């Protein structure tokens, strides 16, 4: 893990590159040529898959599953008895942990206000109705590291918000043609209404357009590959989406009081997600930087996913020695990380300096891995610098607001002429006439 000065870090690991600006590997183009008969990029490949799913429905979903993954699921809808049977394949300790996580996530989100309000006075009534989205679909990847925790962190806030239909869709495993057993069990624990079997762009298309038995939804959530993300972007407007998640990232700010072994452990936990993950330490202490660097290399040798970690630490991770903690916070706010971990002497004293982050983790006992699983807030947080304007998944993502207007004659006569003036200023004479027919 390399140690950088601030200037070189800003040119490299702290420099944001839009996820869709990354060059497409030759292997991806080669595969597209085999599938489509021409060398097209991911954007065009996804467009064609979505168009096919929109036209042919479930048949296209099954065809693309076979063509892309070499798997044809036995059915697109997982039967209830199959979901129940999955408990036998999951360690009871894992089931217990998932139940604990679901309970804590629910308790946290039930504290979040999302309430309708109506105000009555002598002008009449104004207000807002808060109504849940009716149908939500959650995409959960199913690769080498399936993510039942992401299902919990998304489905539970949806349930708290009152969404009446929550569906999960996840790719088939090669040996069974079903989603991973932990995903099936997590779906049962949180009480989703349907579990579907499909992956990639075809899964997003099925949720957006409907592909019987896959029901069309109103909003799609969940992480995934480049192709899944591109598909979400292309169906936005037909359905809502939660965002365009990129590789996961952690930024740690530490001072000389931090335990270098714990700081290293936190960075390694982030780096093991995948080769695109980012794990960055900012510290004004050169001594700590060197201690963490040594600890990272020593601890990495003990970990199962050391090859992935090594690639992540080489590509987009590192340690930055800053002039001060103040500079570290300035750099962090500019970077706008998904996770911001404060391993400093008095983290609460620095909380006011945080402007942009998906989540802030205060001190060595509130580290990011707890947030990944059992702390309570959803771990689905904005990536790629979008924490400048976006928020973690929460109850508000699953509701919509309906404005209520019920004004009386007195207020109509008081404000109607202003509406007429503005309508005529915009050249909308029918608008003006609709007002003028009502006012004296």
Q: At what angle do helices 181-190 and 148-161 cross, to 10 degrees?
A: 20
Choosing from 180, 273, 339, 350, the catalytic residue is 339
Percent of the chain clearing pLDDT 70 (strictly above): 98
| Averaged pLDDT, 116-127 | 94
State pLDDT tens for residues 45-97: 999 999 999 999 999 999 999 998 899 999 999 999 999 999 999 999 999 99
Partners of 402 in the β-ladder: 129
Among the four given CATH numbers 3.40.50.10800, 3.40.50.1980, 3.40.710.10, 3.40.50.1820, the one describing domain 3-15+247-388: 3.40.50.1980
**What pLDDT is attached to residue 145?**
67
11-20, 73-82, 167-176, 325-334: lowest mean pLDDT where? Answer: 11-20
Number of H-type helices and E-type strands within the chain: 18, 14
DSSP one-letter code for 252? E
Candidates 142, 134, 158; CA nearest to 221 is 158
Choosing from 249, 338, 364, 368, the catalytic residue is 338
Measured between alpha carbons, how far is residue 387 from residues 150, 242, 357 in Å?
18, 13, 5
What is the rounded distance in angstroms from the CA atom of residue 27 to the CA atom of residue 378?
35
Percent of the chain clearing pLDDT 90 (strictly above): 83
Does 305 have pLDDT greater than 90?
no
Partners of 126 in the β-ladder: 119, 405
134-143, 318-327, 413-422, 424-433: lowest mean pLDDT where? Answer: 134-143
Residue with the two structure tokens 């909308």: 428
Contact 168, 78 (CB under 8 A): no
**What pLDDT is attached to residue 289?**
97
Candidates 335, 385, 329, 383; CA nearest to 354 is 329
- The question of whether 109 is a catalytic residue gets the answer no
Does 25 have pLDDT greater than 90?
no
pTM of the model: 0.92
DSSP one-letter code for 9? H
Residue 3 token pair: 């140690």
What is the rounded distance in angstroms from the CA atom of residue 331 to the CA atom of residue 8?
13
Q: Which CATH superfamily is domain 80-241 in?
A: Nitrogenase molybdenum iron protein domain (3.40.50.1980)
What is the rounded distance in angstroms from the CA atom of residue 116 to the CA atom of residue 105?
23
Residue with the two structure tokens 């996840």: 170
CA 364-315-10 angle, 5° bins: 75
**What pLDDT is attached to residue 14?**
95
What is the rounded distance in angstroms from the CA atom of residue 170 to the CA atom of residue 183?
8
Residue 398 token pair: 């699953």
Candidates 278, 280, 282; CA nearest to 248 is 278
Q: How confident is the model at residue 31 (pLDDT cuts 50, 70, 90)?
A: confident
The DSSP string of 159-227 is HHHT-SEEEEEEPPPTTTSS--HHHHHHHHHHT-SEEEE--HHHHHHHHHH-BTTBPP-SEEE----HH
Q: How confident is the model at residue 274 (pLDDT cuts 50, 70, 90)?
A: confident
State pLDDT tens for residues 365-406: 999 999 999 999 999 999 999 999 999 999 999 999 999 999
**What pLDDT is attached to residue 114?**
85
**What pLDDT is attached to residue 407?**
95
Instruction: Tell me the three state secondary structure of residue 122.
Output: coil
Which residues are CB-contacts of 426 (< 8 A; sequence separation ≥ 6)?
A: none
Where, residue-wise, is CATH 3.40.50.1980 in the chain? 3-15+247-388, 80-241
* Burial class of residue 140, CB neighbours in 10 A (0-12, 13-18, 19+): buried
The b-or-e profile of 344-372 (16+ CB within 10 A means b, else e) is beebeebeeebebbbbbbbebeebbbebb
Q: How confident is the model at residue 144 (pLDDT cuts 50, 70, 90)?
A: low
Contact 321, 29 (CB under 8 A): no
**What pLDDT is attached to residue 41?**
87
Average pLDDT, the chain: 94
| Averaged pLDDT, 255-270 | 96
What is the rounded distance in angstroms from the CA atom of residue 229 to the CA atom of residue 211?
19
Q: How confident is the model at residue 273 (pLDDT cuts 50, 70, 90)?
A: confident
- The question of whether 339 is a catalytic residue gets the answer yes
Residue 306 token pair: 């050391």
Contact 114, 396 (CB under 8 A): yes
* Burial class of residue 400, CB neighbours in 10 A (0-12, 13-18, 19+): middle
């Amino acid at each position: 893990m390399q140690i950088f000065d601030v200037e070189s870090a800003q040119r490299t690991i702290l420099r944001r590159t839009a996820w869709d600006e990354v060059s497409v590997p030759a292997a991806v183009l080669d595969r597209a040529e085999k599938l489509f008969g021409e060398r097209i990029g991911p954007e065009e490949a996804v467009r064609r898959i979505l168009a096919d799913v929109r036209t042919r429905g479930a048949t296209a979903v099954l065809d693309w599953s076979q063509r892309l993954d070499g798997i044809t699921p036995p059915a697109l809808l997982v039967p209830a008895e199959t979901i129940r049977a999955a408990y036998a394949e999951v360690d009871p300790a894992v089931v217990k942990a998932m139940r604990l996580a679901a309970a804590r996530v629910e308790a946290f989100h039930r504290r979040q206000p999302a309430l309708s309000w109506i105000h009555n006075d002598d002008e009449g009534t104004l207000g807002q109705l808060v109504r849940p989205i009716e149908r939500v679909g959650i995409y959960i990847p199913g690769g080498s590291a399936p993510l039942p925790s992401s299902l919990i962190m998304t489905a539970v806030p949806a349930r708290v918000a009152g969404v009446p239909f929550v569906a999960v869709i996840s790719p088939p495993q090669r040996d069974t043609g079903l989603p991973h057993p932990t995903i099936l069990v997590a779906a049962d624990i949180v009480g989703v209404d349907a579990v579907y079997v499909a992956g990639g762009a075809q899964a997003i298309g099925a949720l957006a357009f409907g592909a019987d038995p896959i029901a069309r939804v109103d909003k799609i959530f969940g992480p995934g590959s480049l192709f899944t993300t591109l598909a979400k972007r292309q169906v936005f407007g037909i359905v809502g989406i939660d965002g365009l998640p990129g590789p996961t990232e952690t930024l740690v700010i530490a001072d000389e009081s931090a335990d270098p072994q714990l700081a290293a452990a936190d960075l390694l936990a982030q780096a093991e997600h995948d080769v695109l993950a980012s794990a960055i330490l900012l510290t004004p202490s050169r001594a700590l930087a060197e201690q963490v660097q040594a600890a990272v290399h020593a601890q990495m040798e003990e970990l199962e996913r050391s090859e992935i970690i090594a690639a992540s630490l080489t590509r987009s991770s590192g340690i930055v020695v800053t002039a001060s903690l103040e500079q570290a916070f300035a750099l962090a706010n500019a970077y706008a990380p998904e996770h911001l971990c404060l391993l400093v002497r008095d983290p609460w004293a620095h909380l006011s300096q945080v402007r942009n982050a998906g989540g802030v983790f205060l001190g060595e006992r509130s580290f990011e891995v707890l947030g990944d699983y059992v702390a309570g807030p959803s771990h689905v947080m904005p990536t790629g610098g979008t924490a400048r304007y976006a928020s973690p998944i929460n109850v508000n993502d699953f509701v919509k607001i309906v404005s209520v207007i019920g004004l009386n004659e007195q207020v109509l006569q008081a404000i109607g002429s202003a509406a007429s003036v503005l309508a005529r200023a915009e050249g909308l004479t029918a608008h003006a006439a609709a007002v003028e027919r009502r006012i004296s």
